[in-house]
Amino acid sequence: MQFHNLGLDGPVRIELDRRSDDRGFFARLFCTEEFRKHDLEHEWVQINNSLTMDKGMVRGLHFQRAPSAEVKLVRCVRGSIYDVAVDLRDGSPTYGEWRAAELTAENRSMLYIPAGFGHGFQALESGSEIIYFNSAAYAPELEGGLRFDDTQVEIDWPLNAVGLSDRDNQLPTLEHLQPIAIP
């Protein structure tokens, strides 16, 4: 695996090293030792699967607060997504900054999103599907979010957003968000 820091303290794009021959290829998706060597979370308690039906749909930006603040490891297994991480950590010098990676079924890259970051994505194709690993179990009472179109954050979504949930449309802006305390 190849680990590429995205310029903020935390989000990492992970590319798979493939061993190919005439039968296809083999690649390791996860290795505790490699994640530990890069000081990344390596204990996963929940694995989620999400299907987004329409091109342009945005999901997020979501997070959980302590004690269930979660790390996510996201991979697109069908279609393609624009995956975004926004730094929402209390006291962070990059608070409110974001990074993104295009994850596709073809490039098989993954995005590692640390605790304290809001996470969301936009489907670049209809029927895009992702699998993501979480370091903490879902705790609805600790869930929070940030509006996808916050003018202070200015995420450069590649497509016009469609199909947002009522919940996501009502999320606060950065100005009205309590930063995430990370123990």
By annotation, the residues acting in catalysis are 62, 132
**Distance from C-alpha of 162 to C-alpha of 154, rounded to nearest angstrom:** 17
Nearest to residue 11, comparing CAs of 79, 91, 112?
112
- Tokens 């993104």, residue? 100
Query: C-alpha distances in angstroms, 8 versus 48, 50, 112, 117?
Result: 25, 26, 12, 11
**Distance from C-alpha of 50 to C-alpha of 35, rounded to nearest angstrom:** 24
At position 81, the amino acid (one-letter code) is I
**Distance from C-alpha of 142 to C-alpha of 49, rounded to nearest angstrom:** 21
* Residues paired with 143 in a beta bridge: 64
